[in-house]
A and B are shown apart, each in its own frame.
Chain A
Amino acid sequence: MILINGNLAVVKGAIKSGCGFFGGYPITPASSIMEEIAKDGIKLMQMEDEIASINCAIGASLSGKKAMTATSGPGFSLMQEAVGYAHMIEQPLVIVNVQRVGPATGMPTKPSQGDIMQAKYGSHGDYCPLVFYPNSVSELYEYAIKSFNCAEEAEMPVVLLSDAYLANLYETVNLDIDIGIVNRKLEPVGNGARHYTGLSHQRNSPKPQNPRQYKSFIDRIFKKTYVIAKKHADYEYTGKKDSDTLIVAYGCVSRFLSGLKKKYAFFRPIRMWPFLKKELGKIAKNYKKVVVVEMNNGQYRREVERVIRKRLYFFRVLGGEINIPKISRGIRRIKCKATSLYSK
């Protein structure tokens, strides 16, 4: 057991996974990941910006290394074009986004969950990202490893979400967990005549004018991601399960609200995308009231609403600060008639 914070846990997980390359650019609250990498001896390239960071990580992955980059919202925004590129060329990569309050420079030191939709839809065009969002330091360690594993299994980039709270939270972690490591199967570049292109393509040839080819590509990447996602339909269902209220919360917010577990049932998604439709749908059926609490203006809420198809209660937490008594009072006062969908 060691006492470490969330960012260091991500680094420990990367080391355990055999990560061999890190490309990055400093940004609060993710910087300490790069600093820890620098101490460890994993090949580090500190680049001129986040665009270069993700692109050199893609290059290193092509060269056969398990590669990673870590950033926060502003940097994640800059990376988006390359996120789509990595999906298009089907190259394994782990992208860590330690969320802070946005948009723009926002509130750099405050936690947020404002990039939930960006993690899914941030790049242009259709693609199917695998996204995990743990809620403890141990889990960050575990899911850093799982992210590398899934990236290798799916041959796709994987996003690991964290936040400014978890990044700086110190907890004890057992590094000797029993978890297999998926090794690289792809042959590194420098040994063939393969062509990697962001153009729609078929095997080694660009096919930018062929709709049928494009459709089959999209179907294939969605399908292969779902196959891997299914193995990791990870969530936590806890609390007072026989209450009439189910609270849906994830990441740091699920930690802040843990005191309410005595009174209400809790659903905490860990695999954020693809959305846990079946899993949540089945559980939510048993509750009269479903409440979503998240640190944004209602991003995950909309997805939940689509699945449960009944009135949903939503508490937003904005500006990086949470007033737990107020939320708890709010939940207590919910009448089934439904009050305003938005909290003040």
Chain B
Amino acid sequence: MQGYLSLLKIKRLPTTWCPGCGNGLVIKALIQVMESNNLNKKNTVIVSGIGCVGRTTGYLKLDSIHTLHGRAIPVAEGIKTANPKLNVFVVSGDGDLLAIGGNHLLHASRRKTNIKVICVNNRIYGMTGGQASPATPKKTVTTTTPKGNEFEEINTQAIVTSNKNFFARSTVFHLDHLKKMIKKSLENKDFSFIEVISNCYPGYGKKLGFTSNYEMLMDFKKKFENQKNKSILKKNELGFLK
């Protein structure tokens, strides 16, 4: 089994995250892929926006850019365009990438800039205390939707694949699968988007009746299954489209 300490700023631990938060698992998967693919501080840069997930960049031994809320994608595109040799990752939240940064996502996928966007989707604004995000499913109770969310969740998959970009879905429970998807995205030479379903117990799961972050992970195990048809990726399926 691989470790994942090589690229971790150990002195900066503990993280600011709640115990059991899915963000740590994303770091683990990402570092393990980087190790096996020879991605390191000589060739790789990581960019994030604002939110709990956004803090990821500060824990990695890479040149890392913690941008403004929603602006990770344009900053990453500027970095990549100015120096095409770099591998550029974006790691940010559903609120950051799909709400305030949604317009950038739309256009980066049109421009097909070769950046790898990892969207850690906990279906909520975690950092600000559990308000509905564009990825919050309909009818869900959150602090800003006490009677249940009246809107459908955003269809990110349709946005990203409309330009024939790489789109993958995984969860923080299915770490091996997640790593496979990140690796797969690296084979792809243009815009790639990986949606990682994650858990936020205090901001999201609590109101849904879960009792811990662990219970939410077990729920991912139960709810998600492998993609059956290569050309279709259903909401509850793990897999990719290209």
Chain A contact residues, CB within 8 Å of chain B: 20-21, 23, 43, 45, 47-49, 51-53, 55-65, 67, 81-82, 85, 89, 188-199, 205-206
Specify which of B12, B68, B76, B80 is in contact with A85 (CB 8 Å cutoff).
B68
Whole-angstrom distance between the alpha carbons of A45 and B62 in the complex? 26
A21 and B78 contact, CB distance less than 8 A: yes
B66 and A45 contact, CB distance less than 8 A: no
Query: Could you pull out 25 A-B pairs where Cβ atoms are within 8 angstroms?
Result: A23-B78, A43-B81, A45-B78, A51-B74, A52-B104, A55-B67, A55-B68, A56-B75, A56-B81, A59-B74, A59-B82, A60-B78, A60-B81, A63-B79, A63-B80, A64-B82, A81-B68, A85-B67, A189-B63, A193-B9, A193-B61, A195-B64, A196-B63, A196-B65, A197-B65
Question: Known pairs A51-B71, A55-B67. 17 more at Cβ < 8 A?
Answer: A21-B78, A21-B81, A45-B78, A48-B106, A52-B104, A59-B47, A59-B76, A60-B79, A61-B82, A62-B65, A67-B82, A190-B41, A190-B45, A191-B63, A195-B66, A197-B57, A198-B66
Whole-angstrom distance between the alpha carbons of A43 and B77 in the complex? 12
Contacts of B64 in A (CB 8 A): 193-196
Whole-angstrom distance between the alpha carbons of A191 and B47 in the complex? 14
* B76 (CB) vs chain A CBs: closest residue: A59
> Any chain A CB within 8 A of the CB of B42?
yes
> Any chain A CB within 8 A of the CB of B231?
no
B58 and A21 contact, CB distance less than 8 A: no
Max chain B Cβ within 10 angstroms of own Cβ: one of A48, A55, A64: A55
Whole-angstrom distance between the alpha carbons of A242 and B55 in the complex? 62
Specify which of A20, A55, A65, A197 is in contact with B75 (CB 8 Å cutoff).
A55
Within the complex, what minimum Cβ distance (angstroms) separates A173 from chain B? Answer: 29
Name the interface residues of B27-75: CB closer than 8 Å to any CB of A.
Answer: 41-45, 47, 50, 55, 57-58, 60-68, 71, 74-75
Contacts A52-B104, A57-B78, A59-B78 given; indicate if A197 touches B66 (C-beta within 8 A): yes
* A206 (CB) vs chain B CBs: closest residue: B58
Specify which of A49, A55, A191, A205 is in contact with B78 (CB 8 Å cutoff).
A55
> Any chain A CB within 8 A of the CB of B184?
no
B61 and A199 contact, CB distance less than 8 A: no
* A21 (CB) vs chain B CBs: closest residue: B82
* B79 (CB) vs chain A CBs: closest residue: A59
> Any chain A CB within 8 A of the CB of B103?
yes
Contacts A21-B82, A48-B103, A55-B68 given; indicate if A192 touches B41 (C-beta within 8 A): yes
